[in-house]
Structure 1
Amino acid sequence: MRLILLGPPGAGKGTQAQRLVERHGIPQLSTGDMLRKAVAEGSDVGKRAKAVMDAGQLVSDDIVNQIVSERIDDPDCAKGFILDGYPRTVPQAEALTRMLAEKGLRLDAVIELKVDEKALVNRMEKRVAETRAAGGEVRADDNPESFRKRLDEYRQKTAPLSDYYKGTGELVTIDGMADMDTVTAEIENVVGAAALK
């Protein structure tokens, strides 16, 4: 089962990915984790990524695509994986489609959690208030201004992926504003249907 979860920050992708990991025993592949692992292992692509990051620059699509390609060749991905934070752009999505085809693989589904952005901001503010009330630590970027910037960036760079995957016939949209268990059940329906293909 090979999945991509799409949706803006705060849509619940992390929670749902974790539930899929627990239920199906497939890894959640986070771009950040994959980059850190490649750098720590000192692979060729890891060394290239480290040099770019040490120079304070963004890692190129070429490097990210190679890191993802190598990661999905790992044995724990044999039964499938959930991509988290990749692809971020249409060129990355096109590269992923080519990469999977070269490996004789394809995505089972691209699941987009549709959410109301205003409600997301309210949800984030409530979460911050609850964390503070409980004496917890709040991330520096957990404030309405930063969150709105992250939403804007998502809208500009990542939202076009919806149209791309709609065009490939892989996109399934789920109401991300429903309660967590309902969203999980909807995702499981999609996964079940994909398994029957």
Structure 2
Amino acid sequence: MSVAYQSPPARPGVPVSDPVPPPAPRAAAPSADLEIKDAHLIFSAVWADLLERHPGDVRFPNEFIWLGGAPGAGKGTNTPFIARARDITAPPIVISDLLTAPQAVALKNAGQMVGDREVIGLLLEELLDPRYRDGVVIDGFPRTKVQVEFLKLFYHAMLGAGARGAHKPMFRIALLFVTEEVSVARQLKRGRVIREHNAQVRESGIGELLEERVTDLDPGLCRKRYKGFKDTTFDALQSLRQIFHFHFIDAEGDLPEVQRNIVREFAYQSSLELSPEVFALIQNIPIATELSRHARQELVRRLEQYERDAPDVFRGVVALIESKLLPIVQAHAMSGHTQINSEEALLDDPVALRMMIDVFSERGFHVTVDLHRVEIPARVDPQTWEITCRTKKVFRIEIRYPPSDIRRGH
């Protein structure tokens, strides 16, 4: 369902126009159809209310970062860093804070529930604040399939305006991910720290008490919260991977490591920032981070294929590594670097050469190979003294690996 309304004039920021929602999946399950229908109804109602309150003056930010993460993933800790990485100066919009805003409290006091429609209405109203005009981080949205569908409708409404000359909206999904074990450990640690803090405040009378969440004190409840995230929010965010620029951020390390991951994830933005014409020319060249992300799966696939398609060659390569190359590598184990010159005829086969590199890679080594051709005199014509040479192929194999931690004392 779309909403007909008069488009506001083009002004700084991103104006909006008639929403152009994507078609619902033809073979969707009944529950999915119902959620899509609910999202369309909610979007239509909220949009109409918004336009009625702000006739001719509906402008949204140029850049949106929709941030999600498991309990204990560090959204609150890393949100300011993410904003700085994208030169966003406005404070983040935290969905949980919107639920305690005066508008939400008024709804609760009037006996009304604060559901998806109310949350979306509060969010769109907040996004109209001029301080978010250049960009904003939204912490904790979307979390449900209805909210995901709303996000698509919202984006297509803005994209429709962009087709007529306005700025293209920038939607980015950022997911801070940790495993269940890390999530539970961090939740319990947070509970212990808050409980210790509150004990000191009560004893000294100095400071303010912090909220003690029951879910931060019970391992079973911590795991239940994580399961809820995986079953609902994680799947909802993953469904947007093929639509918006998606940042999957490993948040399990210490703070400096996580922030390095954030910088790396946000370093490449061409699909959103380049013009459609330029991006169309280069889009088939893979992004380096995506290439490396799937490298392990591709390596495993190739090794399995070697065994199926060329088992004799594969076994010959493994025998070569074990009998001739590995002893040299082990002799240089302290340095983490080995160079080997080899004239093995087996390596003349490009497939065998690739097998050797892949086998070493699977075991954690980094291998490069250069082929050098050396001209060797073979015979001399006694009448003309003409020298005939043969070409000798020398494979220069460079192998790198972590050096030994043992160092000689000084």
TM-score between the two structures when normalised by the length of structure 2 = 0.41
Letter of the 2:114 counterpart? V
- Give structure 2 stretches of 5+ with no counterpart: 1-62, 160-167, 202-209, 275-410
In the alignment, what sits opposite 1:31?
Answer: 95
Q: Which residue of 90, 97, 118 corresponds with 2:145?
A: 90
User: Which of 1 and 2 has higher RCO (CA within 8 Å, sep 6+)?
Assistant: 1
Q: Give the C-alpha shift of residue 38 in structure 1.
A: 5.2
| Equivalent-residue separation in structure 2 for 1:109 and 1:192 (angstroms) | 13
Q: Which amino acid aligns with 2:72?
A: G
TM-aligned CA distance change 1:69 to 1:111, over 3 Å: same
Corresponding residue for 1:101? Answer: 156
In 1, Cα distance between equivalents of 2:156 and 2:244: 16
Tell me which of 212, 221, 227 is aligned to 1:146. 221
Alpha-carbon shift at residue 56 of structure 1 (Å): 5.9
Q: What TM-score comes out, normalization by structure 1 length?
A: 0.79
Change (3 A) 1:56 1:194: farther
Structure with higher strand content: 2
Instruction: Report Cα offsets for 1:144-193 as digits up to 9, x if no partner.
Output: 23322322222222121232112314222121102212222222333332
Matched, 1:50 2:109: no
Superposed counterparts of 1:88-167, under 5 Å: 88-104=143-159, 106-133=169-196, 135=200, 137=210, 139-141=212-214, 142-143=216-217, 144-167=219-242
Identity between Structure 1 and Structure 2 (%): 26
CA contact (8 A) 1:34 1:67 kept: yes
Change (3 A) 1:194 1:122: same
Q: Label 1:130 to 1:169 Cα distance change in 2 as closer, same or farther (>3 A).
A: same
Residue 54 of structure 1, CA deviation = 3.0
RMSD: 2.6
5+ residue gaps, structure 1? 40-45
Are 2:173 and 1:173 equivalent residues in the alignment? no
The Cα offsets for residues 14-68 of structure 1, whole Å up to 9 and x where unpaired, read as: 11113234563132111232343351xxxxxx5xx733x2366641212211221
Counterpart for residue 60 of structure 1: 115
Q: Which moved further from structure 2: 110-119 or 133-142?
A: 133-142
**Contact preservation (8 Å) 1:4, 1:109:** yes
- Which SS does the other structure have where 1:172 is aligned? strand
Per residue, is there more helix in 1 or in 2? 1
